[in-house]
């Protein structure tokens, strides 16, 4: 199965294993809660999905690579204790707490979460002295004499022997005690993830043209040559930083991430073309609606690979706009909720004698403490984490502004807060209007270039795949999108988008 299906399977396992009856006991007894064993090539996202699963299920995560452990750190160190048997005292060997099990208890104490996932990576690459302990761990959920706590799901990951010389095969007895999931790379599934992570547009459009370069593993006389999804994602990050710094990218840099010289050279050539198209087609003019007939004619008569590249450029830019609108909406909504809480405190008869700044500082302290706790538990994705941080900083700025005005009465203070918040709402509206305008202009350009051809089908399909464009269109609408959906690809996913729009219309506004 692909990585998305594996993630869903793990989520279902967590939900099933943590289900309790009316007495608070787990419905599936501990002995029947099989560990999940993920087997697949390196770099396809086995480790990354564990953070997503833990966050989405609201449970803790403790992650270890077993190759970093010795038998002593995994099982514990031996020490001599004395016990009495049959009226006689004997010296016996006991073990200190396993470092791994101790980390689970530390995580529970740190986060306040009593349930979670213990993830052991590279489990079939354990050292020779540790291998028997790994079998015991999978079979009995223990390290030495110490058990994994109740409510913790064990997930292990490993690579097949063809990818790692250090691999030790599991016997049938062990495999018969786990839920084994074989994971294969899948570009279409990774692309959904890539859009949400804002992977560089050049990478997405290149892989759309050359899907077989998404994952490659070859053995040559000079050793392994490979490209993995992890490599593409890490490359995306450095590409964006290099662009910001004005540093030129060449094949020598690319091969550090795409460790297959032929593919690295090919992508280097494509990257030059990608940047050339950005200039040739005057991307900014298209988004502003000021495109020329020459640009339309050039694209309509271009080779198919060039058309895909220009579509990729437009989709990447629109995705950036939609992400900004999404982040702005998250921040404004969260700030609005915080200000509603502040208003309640201002109006509470129990807080009548309390100065407004003490009430605001109390709210700020609560928000900061909650944010710290959520970060420790790793329960926030990057977008929500950014929104939380921006909300706290904005509240601090508001307090500073109002103190500078010398206001004391709570009513006057809150009126000033409302006026300040109106600026945030206006910025949110501006981001939405920019996204709407640029999406409309892109449709107008593509209509002139392609009409309702296959290129428009690709454009609509990519909009439907992209997390940010789906959120944006669901909340703000797009007549052109609905028009071409009905004509080209109207299916259940599009129906769900229309349903989301109706739900969004019914939601409350940012009023006090």
pLDDT in tens, 109-129: 998 899 999 999 888 887 777
320 phi, psi to nearest 5 deg: -60, -45
Inform me whether the pLDDT recorded for 12 exceeds 70: yes
Inform me whether the pLDDT recorded for 175 exceeds 90: no
The fraction of the chain above a pLDDT of 90, given in percent, is: 64
- Does residue 462 sit in the same domain as residue 384? yes
For residue 286, is it within any domain? no
For residue 482, is it within any domain? yes
- Does residue 136 sit in the same domain as residue 230? no
For residue 214, is it within any domain? yes
Tell me the average pLDDT across 36-44. 90
Give pTM, 2 decimals: 0.84
Classify 434 as helix, strand or coil. helix
Q: What is the pLDDT of residues 130-166, one digit of tens each?
A: 777 878 888 888 887 788 999 999 999 988 877 777 7
- Does residue 271 sit in the same domain as residue 390? no
- Does residue 364 sit in the same domain as residue 471? yes
- Does residue 271 sit in the same domain as residue 398? no
Dihedral angle sign, alpha carbons of residues 23, 27, 29, 35:
negative
For residue 296, is it within any domain? no
- Does residue 322 sit in the same domain as residue 442? yes
- Does residue 252 sit in the same domain as residue 342? no
pLDDT bracket for residue 77 (50, 70, 90): confident
Supply the CATH number for residue 175's domain.
3.40.50.300
- Does residue 174 sit in the same domain as residue 192? no
* Number of structural domains the chain divides into: 3
What totals of helices (H) and strands (E) does the chain contain, helices first? 21, 11
For residue 287, is it within any domain? no
The DSSP result for 405-464, as a single string, is: HT--SHHHHHHHHHHHHHHHHHHHHHHHHHHHHHHHHHHHHHHHHHTTSHHHHHHHHHHH
The pLDDT assigned to 494 comes to 52
Continuous segment of H or E residues that includes residue 130: none
For residue 290, is it within any domain? no
The pLDDT assigned to 38 comes to 92
The DSSP result for 144-207, as a single string, is: TTEEPPTTEEEEEEE--GGG-TT--PPPHHHHTTSEEEE----HHHHHHHHHHTT--HHHHHHH
For residue 294, is it within any domain? no
Q: What is the pLDDT of residues 346-365, one digit of tens each?
A: 999 998 889 999 999 999 99
d(C-alpha 136, C-alpha 66), whole Å = 14
- Does residue 411 sit in the same domain as residue 363? yes
Name the residue range of residue 257's domain.
Answer: 186-280
The pLDDT assigned to 505 comes to 47
For residue 323, is it within any domain? yes
Continuous segment of H or E residues that includes residue 31: none
Antiparallel, parallel or unpaired: β 116-121 and 60-65: parallel
- Does residue 335 sit in the same domain as residue 230? no
pLDDT bracket for residue 16 (50, 70, 90): very high
The fraction of the chain above a pLDDT of 70, given in percent, is: 95
Inform me whether the pLDDT recorded for 397 exceeds 70: yes
Per-residue tokens: 241: 């930083």
Inform me whether the pLDDT recorded for 328 exceeds 80: yes
- Does residue 211 sit in the same domain as residue 158? no
- Does residue 233 sit in the same domain as residue 160? no
């Amino acid at each position: 199965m692909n990585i998305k299906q594996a993630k869903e399977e793990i989520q279902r396992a967590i939900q099933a294993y943590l289900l309790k009856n009316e007495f608070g006991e787990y419905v599936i007894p501990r002995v029947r809660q099989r560990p999940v064993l993920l087997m697949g090539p390196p770099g396809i996202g086995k480790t990354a999905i564990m953070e997503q699963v833990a966050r989405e299920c609201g449970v803790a995560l403790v992650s270890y690579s077993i190759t970093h452990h010795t038998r002593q750190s995994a099982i514990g160190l031996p020490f001599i204790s004395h016990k009495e048997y049959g009226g006689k005292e004997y010296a016996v060997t006991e073990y200190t707490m396993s470092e791994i099990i101790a980390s689970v208890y530390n995580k529970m104490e740190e986060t306040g979460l009593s349930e979670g996932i213990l993830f052991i990576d590279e489990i079939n690459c354990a050292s020779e002295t540790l291998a028997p302990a790994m079998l015991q761990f999978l079979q009995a959920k223990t390290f030495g004499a110490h058990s994994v706590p109740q409510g913790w799901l064990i997930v292990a990951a490993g690579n097949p022997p063809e990818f790692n010389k250090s691999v030790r095969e599991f016997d049938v007895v062990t495999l018969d005690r786990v839920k084994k999931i074989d994971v294969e790379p899948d570009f279409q599934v990774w692309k959904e993830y890539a859009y949400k992570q804002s992977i560089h547009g050049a990478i997405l459009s290149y892989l759309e043209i050359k899907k077989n370069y998404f994952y490659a593993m070859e053995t040559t006389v000079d050793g392994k040559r490979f490209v993995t999804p992890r490599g593409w994602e890490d490359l995306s990050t450095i590409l964006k930083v290099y662009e910001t710094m004005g540093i030129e990218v060449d094949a020598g840099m690319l091969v550090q991430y795409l460790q297959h010289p032929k593919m690295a050279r090919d992508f280097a050539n494509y990257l030059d073309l990608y940047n050339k198209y950005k200039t040739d087609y005057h991307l900014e003019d298209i988004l502003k609606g000021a495109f020329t007939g020459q640009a339309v004619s050039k694209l309509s008569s271009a080779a198919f690979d060039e058309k895909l590249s220009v579509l990729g450029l437009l989709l990447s830019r629109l995705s950036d706009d939609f992400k900004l609108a999404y982040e702005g909406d998250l921040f404004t909504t969260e700030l609005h909720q915080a200000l509603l809480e502040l208003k309640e405190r201002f109006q509470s008869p129990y807080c009548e004698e309390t100065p407004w700044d003490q009430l605001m500082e109390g709210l700020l302290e609560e928000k900061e403490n909650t944010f710290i706790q959520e970060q420790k538990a790793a329960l926030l994705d990057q977008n929500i984490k950014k929104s939380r941080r921006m909300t706290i900083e904005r509240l601090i700025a508001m307090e500073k502004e109002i103190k500078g005005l010398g206001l004391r009465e709570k009513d006057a203070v809150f009126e000033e807060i409302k006026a300040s918040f109106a600026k945030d709402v206006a910025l949110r509206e501006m981001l939405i209007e920019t996204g709407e305008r640029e999406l409309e202009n892109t449709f107008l350009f593509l209509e002139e270039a392609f009409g309702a051809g296959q290129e428009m089908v690709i454009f609509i399909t990519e909009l439907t795949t992209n997390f940010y464009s789906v959120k944006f269109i669901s909340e703000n609408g797009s007549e052109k999108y609905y028009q071409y959906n009905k004509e080209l690809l109207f299916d259940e996913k599009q129906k769900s988008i229309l349903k989301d729009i109706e739900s969004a219309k019914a939601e409350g506004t940012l009023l006090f």
